[in-house]
Structure 1
Amino acid sequence: MRKMMLLNKSSPADPPPLCSICQHKAPLFGKPPRWFTYSELEHATSRFSQANFLAEGGYGSVHRGHLPDGQVIAVKQYKSASSQGDLEFCSEVEVLSCAQHRNVVMLIGFCVEDGRRLLVYEYICNGSLDSHLYGRNGHPLNWSARQKIAVGAARGLRYLHEECRVGCIVHRDMRPSNILLTHDFEPLVGDFGLARWQPEGNLGVDTRVIGTFGYLAPEYAQSGQITEKADAYSFGIVLLELVTGRKAIDINRPKGQQSLSEWFILIIRIEQARPLLRKSAISELIDPCLVNCCLEQEVRGMLHCASLCIRRDPNSRPRMSQVLRMLEGDVLVS
């Protein structure tokens, strides 16, 4: 017994695996980000081989890799770098290294070498929410999975806004492609390339508005005003996507339905049933895949929550702690 107690004191227990199916090793919380050499990351990804390719974006590419200790990683390699960019990159690493939560993709390390800049994250095994919502993975998400994803993503954002020890981190690009999933449909908020650190949670202004059309809060799109309420707006759009199965912007839909938020607000006005929706409105809004496969009360609650998040006035939007309590059914905010 004494031997076991001493052993437990000297070596912390390994965290449970990230996914019950893949059994991938989870990184340990509390460790600072590791400085990798480029050759280490080349070796981990088999020289960034096509077989390990995960995604490509305007920033660069992402590849899967394996570290010698068995940790599976995702390596994001940026296309270009500069001395000023390196300073900003290191500052971003410093901030994100403090963001450690079960619903936030963890930064494991980084590499700055010979003009190259790379970030090393834990690998999340089941792709992004958008690949499941819009059928590319073959099977539509059931309601229980969508509810779990909404609650978990709200927990991640609440942590970033209200509980992170360095202050408020505004994500600025909250959308389904930046919510990664395990095979247990546990969501993790990821991709912090546009994140903004506000140590005191104060109002910030950005002269260059960046983000994704369809998810931008009106005050941010118009004036560059940055607060955590801009994330709340974007999250409201994500909630609408979870319920309706529609994209935030879909030019293939009829006129008047191409913008998800505008279509939703129009239906609300027609029904004249704020803040709660009548059954006729819910049947028009809900994803056809979910008909007769979900609890109307939960759908109504998520739609009500979304309607509060996408209010034009940022001061009237709920904080993420309130959003989470609504999604969990603990409180109803009007």
Structure 2
Amino acid sequence: MHVVLAGGGTAGHVEPALALADALRRRDPSIGITALGTPRGLEARLVPDRGYELRMIPPVPVPRRPTPQLLALPLRVRSAVAETAAVLRDVDADVVVGFGGYVAAPAYLAARRTGARVVVHEANVRPGLANRLGARMADAVGSAWPDSTLPHAEYVGMPLRRSISTLDRAAARQPARAELGLDPDAPCLLVFGGSQGARTLNRAASGAARALLDAGVQVLHAVGRGGAVDVPDDPRYAVREYLDRMDLAYAAADLVLCRSGAMTCSELAAVGLPAAYVPFPHGNGEQRLNAAPVVAAGGGLLVEDAACTPEEVERTLLPLLRDPERLGRMSAAAAAFGRRDGDDRLADLVLAAGAGRSSREDPS
């Protein structure tokens, strides 16, 4: 069997695709895997680093909503579909798995042209146009969230990195704190806003630094590449540009202040880590929808971007950090909602689709 992954562009598309690739290879090392991508996407670095083949195709940005930009799509799509179909034929693709993003729409259309089966995975509560297109021709649709609006979607969860999906926070807590140079016993607030950081979160946490430290709370704050914050010169407030080992950060933390991208929400729920989610205030509102299910389950708080201030950190998060019983209840609620086996559940759909194609082509 040969599987082609169409999930280029952002980490939110690439990481689930790579988690699925790892799950498929664990099942059967002989499965061929090719990823589609563009030179500008993160996949240009991440896919080869993980040992998988990467084939480049022209990017086709598909707006999440109908806009006048759609009028310019047909010619770009036609060329991209032709090049993608050539890749599918070259590797003799059995299944195309799309995760949305710039390369998904051409991959879905090329699969229909070449006879490959289609499996769609949607990471967000509100699907984009590419995956809505793919779902119409898919043999199976997996969703990271319950109650997906895509037709015939199955709730499989998010395919996660094994370092996250297998994390035992309690067992890893002390080693993680030692590795990160944190106090072994003091409550810890983790703050991050993605690789580029988030100014709202940076200002809120740094502005509350003195109050947090005076209350005995330590902070691990990833400010983003090139970011900086003005905080007391105190080793209990650890500032990093970027955290390469999120598994260590999750194990060390008691509470998180973060945005609510689909991957972040899925990872924190899976490991049972409570969070104050601050949805990105622009765009189509998908981050609010991503956080809503785990917040409703009791595993987190929702904080509006405009309300995310130093005063709010002191008023809401500081008392929570000093209440281990409440944190424990929130942790249990997040873990009960989250799923750790999204990679294997999605692999089941892919293998079933591939087996269906094989049986159709070889009646014997």
Query: For this structure pair, what is the TM-score category when the shorter chain's length is used for normalisation?
Result: under 0.3
Give the TM-score normalised by structure 2.
0.23
Which of the pair is proportionally richer in helix?
2
Q: Whose relative contact order is higher, 1 or 2, with alpha carbons under 8 Å and at least 6 apart?
A: 2
Give the TM-score normalised by structure 1.
0.24
